[in-house]
């Protein structure tokens, strides 16, 4: 029996979806589902291609309450810039959760991943940031530095933003972009410690392998979202920070133990401390921030659940639209 598959390019996707609270809502729904019954989220399939300085990750998750499930393939080939190509590429495939038939192919080159990753930061800000944020800060100056601050600002409309990056030129560029995008005062700052000191909400977005945020920087009423670490060996947050927080939240504990900030803390023998999964807090099954003076940390490593969420959301946005190329098979 023939059926139609919609193939949608990155450019077409950019014309129909951007970062907004609807994206955060659907990602929040995915985290809630992840805390419930009937979820299936296998470990990430990961393949390193050493000869090409490349790697490929495959993520997926089946979530009750979603009509489809996504399989996402994310290649990262780090010599590509020498060839004038981006390092990151990839696609998402949306399948019917009822029949397994391919419904859509999103040739997004990582665009949907960028959105769903930022939206997870939005969910973290929604549930863990203090109600009043005077100043937010971002560590890092890349795509996620920008998107994370946009997602956070949708939840907590702060009026002042600080940016720190190793490269002052990139930090200045990022600050200018965010000032324009958010219409607020954005400044660069010379040291991460000075940034944290002034902020109630901090997001770290770097591929650091040595901690940038240390426990001496902590102060009451601080929330940190760490989203840079997604591989063994990456580490933005010093182990003692996890132990010093009132609450450490993982997007998925089993994954954060391997590739998140929790890995270094475990290696340092700093367990046990108060932990929860993001989905459990979203679903009301675990406690989040208890007071405006709490110090909280949310560790985001990226889940297949978010991919299923955003792919399903895009498919709904596209329903009935002529966007993309329809292939009958």
Q: Specify the residue, 94 or 154, whose C-beta has the smaller distance to its own copies.
A: 94
For residues 145 and 46, give the distance between their C-alpha atoms in angstroms, rounded to a whole number: 25
40 binds its own copies (CB under 8 A): yes
75 binds its own copies (CB under 8 A): yes
For residues 262 and 298, give the distance between their C-alpha atoms in angstroms, rounded to a whole number: 10
**Shortest Cβ 116–its own copies spacing (Å):** 19
Q: Specify the residue, 79 or 132, whose C-beta has the smaller distance to its own copies.
A: 79
64 binds its own copies (CB under 8 A): yes
Neighbouring CB atoms inside 10 A of 301's CB total: 26
**DSSP 8-state code for residue 212:** S
Burial label, 302 (beta-carbon count in 10 A; 0-12, 13-18, 19+): buried
* Residue span 270-309 as binding mask against its own copies, x where in contact by CB under 8 A, dash where not: ----------------------------------------
Contacts of 321 (CB under 8 A, 6+ apart): 16
* Residue span 88-127 as binding mask against its own copies, x where in contact by CB under 8 A, dash where not: -xxx-x-x-xxxxxx--x-x-x------------------
Number of residues in contact with its own copies, rule: CB under 8 A?
52
For residues 156 and 291, give the distance between their C-alpha atoms in angstroms, rounded to a whole number: 17
CA neighbours closer than 13 Å in the CB half-sphere of residue 181: 21
83 binds its own copies (CB under 8 A): yes
Q: Which of 14, 16, 47, 220 binds its own copies (CB under 8 A)?
A: 47
Q: Specify the residue, 110 or 137, whose C-beta has the smaller distance to its own copies.
A: 110
């Amino acid at each position: 029996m023939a059926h139609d598959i919609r193939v949608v390019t990155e450019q077409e996707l950019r014309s129909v979806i951007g970062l907004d609270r609807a994206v955060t809502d659907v990602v929040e729904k995915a985290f809630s589902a992840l805390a419930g019954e009937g979820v299936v989220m296998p470990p990430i399939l990961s393949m390193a291609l050493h000869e090409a300085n490349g790697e490929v990750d495959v993520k997926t998750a089946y979530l009750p309450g979603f009509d489809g499930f996504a399989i996402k393939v994310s290649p990262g080939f780090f010599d590509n810039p020498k060839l004038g190509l981006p390092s990151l590429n990839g696609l998402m495939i949306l399948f019917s959760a009822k029949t397994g038939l391919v419904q859509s192919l999103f040739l997004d080159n990582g665009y949907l991943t960028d959105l769903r990753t930022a939206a997870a930061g939005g969910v973290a800000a929604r549930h863990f940031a203090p109600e009043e944020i005077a100043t937010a800060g971002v560590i890092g100056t890349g795509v996620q530095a920008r998107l994370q601050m946009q997602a956070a600002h949708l939840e907590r409309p702060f009026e002042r933003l600080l940016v720190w990056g190793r490269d002052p030129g990139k930090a200045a560029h990022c600050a200018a972009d965010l000032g324009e995008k958010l219409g607020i005062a954005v400044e660069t700052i010379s040291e991460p410690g000075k940034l944290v000191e002034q902020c109630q909400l901090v997001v770290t977005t770097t591929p650091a392998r040595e901690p940038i945020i240390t426990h001496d920087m902590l102060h009451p009423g601080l929330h940190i979202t760490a989203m840079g670490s997604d591989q063994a060996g990456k580490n933005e947050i010093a182990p003692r920070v996890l132990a010093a927080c009132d609450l450490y939240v993982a997007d998925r504990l089993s994954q954060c133990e391997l590739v998140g900030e929790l890995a270094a803390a475990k290696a340092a023998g700093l367990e046990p401390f108060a932990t929860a999964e993001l989905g459990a807090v979203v679903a009301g099954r675990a406690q989040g921030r208890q007071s405006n003076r709490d110090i909280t940390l949310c560790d985001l490593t990226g889940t297949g659940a978010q991919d299923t969420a955003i792919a399903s959301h895009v498919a709904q946005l596209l329903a009935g639209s002529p966007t993309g190329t329809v292939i009958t098979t």
